[in-house]
Amino acid sequence: MLSQFKNTNLILAPMAGITDMPFRRICNKFGADITVTEMVSARGLIEGSEKSFKLLHIDKDEKNTGIQIFGNDPLVMARAAKIVSRFNPAFIDINAGCPAKKVIKSGSGGGLLNDLDNLKRVLNAVVENSEVPVTCKTRIGFADDYSDEIIDIIYETGIRKIAIHGRTVKMGFKGSANYDWCKHINKFNDVKFVLNGDIDSPRRAMDLILQYPGTDIMIGRGALGNPFIFEKIKKAILGEPINDISYKIWFDTIREHYNLMLEYYGDYGLILMRKHVGWYLKGMRNSKKIKDFIFRSNNYKEIIEVLGEYDRT
């Protein structure tokens, strides 16, 4: 069975406001083979936005990290690709699937799927101006269940790694991810496809890999508060028992995550960390009171003491 998995990478999906350097490092630690930054505005880069440039930071301890950019103007995307290349990421990823209304309205992200001629122009602009490999993350269609034209266009630009979320842009995150599109994979023998959407357990990941050998697995929301999912999937692949995460590992991970956030953002990291703590505590017994405290506190020492005394069983 291991032969089915030998060419499979586990990837942390790019997520705005989430996949910053601290969270990517935590996921690397627990087995993510590849990670991707939050989406970076191409226009923000060419205009010198400090916020956009901060998102380009890749720590020396990270491995196989790509930078995702988004935009709708081919000339702007071309200039952004040149800027990003100077930071020497493992690859540049083009966002052609973000379902956020603001992004779609600008013609970027998922909005590109509503204008396939411009999608092609944007893809070509990045490919022609990047000094590192280029990948693309997209969806199965804008409003239709599946559009084979999207993959054809991406393929024609020379991109050979394509991540596809199994929902349309219009669906957002409603409904269920559809993997029927995978029946078209064999048409593109030289493309590495990445499966994304509703992969929230080792069983789901293994089912997909067995059904579609040679693909990579990209996990987004399934890793929120659960960076351990990558390690669990790898244990499942090896046929090793998958045990619940011990309290010590859980607590040490949160503490390490806090420390990375403070190191990277300063005191503001305490505020940004609140959503992560909410995810780490999700579904746990008696967690409401502790979450209420943490969401109000700006004292790192007090937060760690409260978490250290928490009985999650």
Q: Could you say which DSSP state residue 128 is in?
A: H
Indicate whether 151 pLDDT > 90: yes
Output 35 or 3, whichever has higher pLDDT.
35
Position of tokens 């003491």? Answer: 305
Length of the chain, please?
313
pLDDT at residue 253 in the model: 97
121-134: average pLDDT: 99
Given this model, what pLDDT does residue 201 score?
97
Closest CA to 81 of 131, 15, 36, 153: 131
- For residue 58, give the nearest of 32, 91, 81 by alpha carbon: 91
> Do 196 and 164 touch, CB atoms closer than 8 A?
yes
Straight-line distance from the first to the last Cα atom of the chain, in angstroms, rounded to the nearest whole number: 35
pLDDT at site 207:
95
Residue 57, token pair as written in the block: 């930071």
DSSP 198: S
Distance CA 110, CA 211 (A): 27
Query: How much is the pLDDT for 94?
Result: 99
Q: What is the pLDDT of residue 286?
A: 81
Q: What is the torsional sign of CA 243, 290, 199, 16?
A: negative
Q: What is the dihedral of CA 42, 44, 45, 50, to 10 degrees?
A: -150
Tokens, residue 24: 């990517």
DSSP bridge partners of 123: none
Mean pLDDT (whole number) for 17-43: 98
Residue 259, strand partner residues: none
Residue 145 has pLDDT above 80, yes or no: no
- The pLDDT, as a whole number, for residue 311 is 63
Highest averaged pLDDT of the listed ranges 36-45, 184-193, 204-213, 304-313: 36-45
Flag whether 14 is marked binding: yes
Distance separating alpha carbons of residues 151 and 141, to the nearest angstrom: 10
The pLDDT, as a whole number, for residue 309 is 85
Evaluate if residue 1 carries a pLDDT over 60.
no
Q: Is 137 annotated as a binding residue?
A: yes
Give pLDDT, residue 129: 99
C-alpha dist (Å) from residue 177 to 146, 168, 220: 12, 9, 13
Residue 15 marked ligand-binding: yes
For the question of residue 98 being annotated catalytic, the response is yes
pLDDT of 287 over the 90 cut: no
What average pLDDT does the segment 171-191 reach? 93
Q: Could you give the CA distance from residue 149 to residue 155 in angstroms, rounded to a whole number?
A: 10
pLDDT in the model for residue 146: 76
Question: pLDDT digit string (tens) for 193-230?
Answer: 999 999 999 999 999 999 999 999 999 999 999 999 99
Q: How confident is residue 312, by pLDDT bands cut at 50, 70 and 90?
A: low
220 is in an annotated binding site: yes
Instruction: Give the pLDDT band of residue 148 (cuts 50, 70, 90).
Output: confident
Catalytic residue among 27, 98, 136, 182: 98
pLDDT in tens, 225-260: 999 999 999 999 988 999 999 999 999 999 999 999
Contact indicator for 155, 178 with CB cutoff of 8 Å:
no
pLDDT confidence of residue 3: 58
Q: Which residue has the tokens 């030998």?
A: 6
pLDDT score of 5 more than 70: no
Total-model pTM: 0.95
pLDDT at 285: 83
| pLDDT tens per residue across span 45-78 | 999 999 999 999 999 999 899 999 999 999 999 9
Asked if 270 contacts 294 with a C-beta cutoff of 8 angstroms, the reply is no
**Amino acid identity of 175?**
G
> What is the rounded average pLDDT for all residues in the chain?
95
Burial tier of 176 (Cβ tally within 10 Å: 0-12, 13-18, 19+) = exposed
